[in-house]
Amino acid sequence: MILTVASGKGGTGKTLISTSLALSLGEDAQFLDCDVEEPNGYIFLKPEIERSVTIYLPKPKVDIKRCSFCGRCRSACHYNAISVIKPGNKTTGKVLFFYELCHSCGACTLVCPENAIYEEKEEKGSVEIGTARGIFSFIQGKLKIAEASPVPVVKAVKKYIRKDKVNIIDASPGTSCPVVEAVKGADFCILVTEPTPFGLNDLALALEMTGKIGVPSGIIINRAGIGDNRVEDYAREKGIPVLLHIPFKREIAVSYSKGIPLVGIFSEYVSIFKKVFERIKYEILKHREVYE
Amino acid sequence: MKICITADGNSLEANVDPRFGRCAYFILYDTETDTFEAIPNTNATGMGGVGIQNATMMAEKGVEVIFTGNLGPNAARVLQQADIKVVTGLTGKIKDAVENFKKGSLKAIPAATPTVLPHSGMGGKKQ
């Protein structure tokens, strides 16, 4: 089973939920930190990292002596990352690659009739594999600093998904490509929000995303008690289950800031998260009955 | 000489569009024949890299000077490599820009420095 913990708004408590859910399920779980721009699950799970795998992607380069400036690479590039300047009176011919736009799809290399484009390996980040608290597997992706797209590293982390485990994926905030990649293929998505206008606005965006991907979702309201009831009203209106309320408590924030997970300070949350997990299993079955 | 002005409409009465990547039209003006062609910017709503593609098109069309409001870094890199000069910070009517350039009161410079950050033409924050 794959459960992705996502949110529209940042700082709502994805890692608070995902780490404590993993700790509650223990040896049945596996934790995958797909927030590769700033993975922080390790702060709470304190894993022993056993190995690290470097992620490389191809980077196109041109052998300008072979180039005929036909421009097919430029037309083939879906991301507008190539400019071909034909030789003119004053200038020599040039092929410019804009690597921050390149997605390493390989189309330019494929279409070049002169075989003038070749690929070099470029480091994009790494995946670290270890064990959390000696109980369950811990995998985290780390995007190389200054790299623009986290998606290849998220994909690399997802290769460690195991069918016989409850795979808990901690996604990055928002609704952009890396989040879509972290949600894609999940059996269920937990959306963590807070009962504020910001929380509601971004929750609606996140629900639109999970709806489009076709992954059933449930909501966890963190910092319950602040703000208003509009998140609840919205969930009811959309028919999205609210799985849990976590009250706004100073002790939670204080312990979290010291790297202590929620279940580490309030042990009753172990059984609460187990119940949430049972509810999620029920919701997945319900979704399958409707859609399959 | 072929020059190009980014425009918010398809005539010489239109105003300069401050964006290069996402302007509405390109007015291609030939200063020798005093004729022009208005090309709709098909990249205006593109996902990304539109400045790069517009700049490449300018090179293909044989444009020597571009008149616009702002220029992003990627477009600037292409224009520099293609040896196309630019006049940035321009406002007002297209026909005035053409006249001023012909009179010599607008000086084109190499596209060495972008005037805005990437994605500046995508809306949101005011430039």
Output the domain CATH number for residue A96.
3.30.70.20
The answer to whether residue B127 sits within a structural domain is no
Instruction: For residue A225, give the amino acid letter.
Output: G
User: Looking at the structure, do residues A73 and A148 belong to the same domain, yes or no?
Assistant: no
Question: Total structural domains in chain B?
Answer: 1
Residues of chain A found within 8 Å of residue B53, distances taken between Cβ atoms? 74, 80, 83
CB contact under 8 A, A80 and B60: no
Report the pLDDT value the prediction gives residue B114, as an integer from 0 to 100: 76
B16 — pLDDT class (breaks 50, 70, 90): very high
A65 interfacial to chain B (CB closer than 8 Å): no
Report the pLDDT value the prediction gives residue B107, as an integer from 0 to 100: 78
User: Looking at the structure, do residues A111 and A136 belong to the same domain, yes or no?
Assistant: no
B115 — pLDDT class (breaks 50, 70, 90): confident
Those residues of chain A that have pLDDT short of 50 are none
The answer to whether residue A120 sits within a structural domain is no
Instruction: For residue A277, give the amino acid letter.
Output: F
User: Looking at the structure, do residues A20 and A131 belong to the same domain, yes or no?
Assistant: yes
User: Looking at the structure, do residues A168 and A89 belong to the same domain, yes or no?
Assistant: no
Question: Total structural domains in chain A?
Answer: 2
Q: By C-alpha distance, which of A33, A47, A11, A4 is closest to A142?
A: A33
CB contact under 8 A, B81 and A90: no
A21: which 2 tokens? 């859910």
Res B18 pLDDT > 50? yes
Instruction: Among B48, B77, B82, select the one facing A91 at the smallest CB separation.
Output: B82
- Residue A97 structural domain: 64-115
B126 — pLDDT class (breaks 50, 70, 90): very low
Give the span between the Cα atoms of A132 and A162, in whole angstroms. 16
A185: which 2 tokens? 């293929």
pLDDT per position as a tens digit, B90-113: 899 999 999 998 888 887 777 667
Report the pLDDT value the prediction gives residue B125, as an integer from 0 to 100: 47
Sheet holding B65-67, edge to edge: B35-40, B25-30, B2-7, B65-67, B85-87, B109-110
Residues of chain A found within 8 Å of residue B63, distances taken between Cβ atoms? none
Q: Closest residue of A to B59, CA-based?
A: A85
Sheet holding A47-62, edge to edge: A47-62, A117-132, A136-143, A29-33, A166-170, A2-6, A188-193, A217-224, A242-247
Distance from CA of B13 to the nearest CA of A (A): 31
- Residue B96 structural domain: 2-117
The answer to whether residue B75 sits within a structural domain is yes
For the segment B8-21, the average pLDDT, to the nearest whole number, is: 94
Q: Tell me, what's the ipTM?
A: 0.84
Q: Closest residue of B to A98, CA-based?
A: B74
Residue B91's domain is classified under what CATH number?
Answer: 3.30.420.130
Instruction: Among A80, A81, A85, select the one facing B59 at the smallest CB separation.
Output: A85
User: Looking at the structure, do residues A97 and A144 belong to the same domain, yes or no?
Assistant: no
The answer to whether residue A40 sits within a structural domain is yes
Res B69 pLDDT > 60? yes
Find the Cα–Cα–Cα–Cα dihedral A280, A285, A286, A290, rounded to 10°: 140
pLDDT per position as a tens digit, A171-210: 999 999 999 999 999 999 999 999 999 999 999 999 999 9
Q: By C-alpha distance, which of B117, B120, B40, B127 is closest to B91?
A: B127
A92 interfacial to chain B (CB closer than 8 Å): no
Res B124 pLDDT > 70? no
Max distance between CA atoms of chain B, in angstroms, equals 40
A-B contacts (CB, under 8 Å): 51
Give the span between the Cα atoms of A232 and A248, in whole angstroms. 16
Residue A201's domain is classified under what CATH number?
Answer: 3.40.50.300
Distance from CA of A11 to the nearest CA of B (A): 23
| Beta-bridge mates of residue A193 | A221
**Based on the number of CB atoms within 10 Å of its own CB, is A153 exposed (0-12), middle (13-18) or buried (19 or more)?**
buried
B110 interfacial to chain A (CB closer than 8 Å): no
Give the span between the Cα atoms of A48 and A271, in whole angstroms. 26
User: Looking at the structure, do residues A152 and A285 belong to the same domain, yes or no?
Assistant: yes
User: Looking at the structure, do residues A89 and A176 belong to the same domain, yes or no?
Assistant: no
The answer to whether residue B124 sits within a structural domain is no
The answer to whether residue B38 sits within a structural domain is yes
The answer to whether residue B125 sits within a structural domain is no
For the segment B7-17, the average pLDDT, to the nearest whole number, is: 94
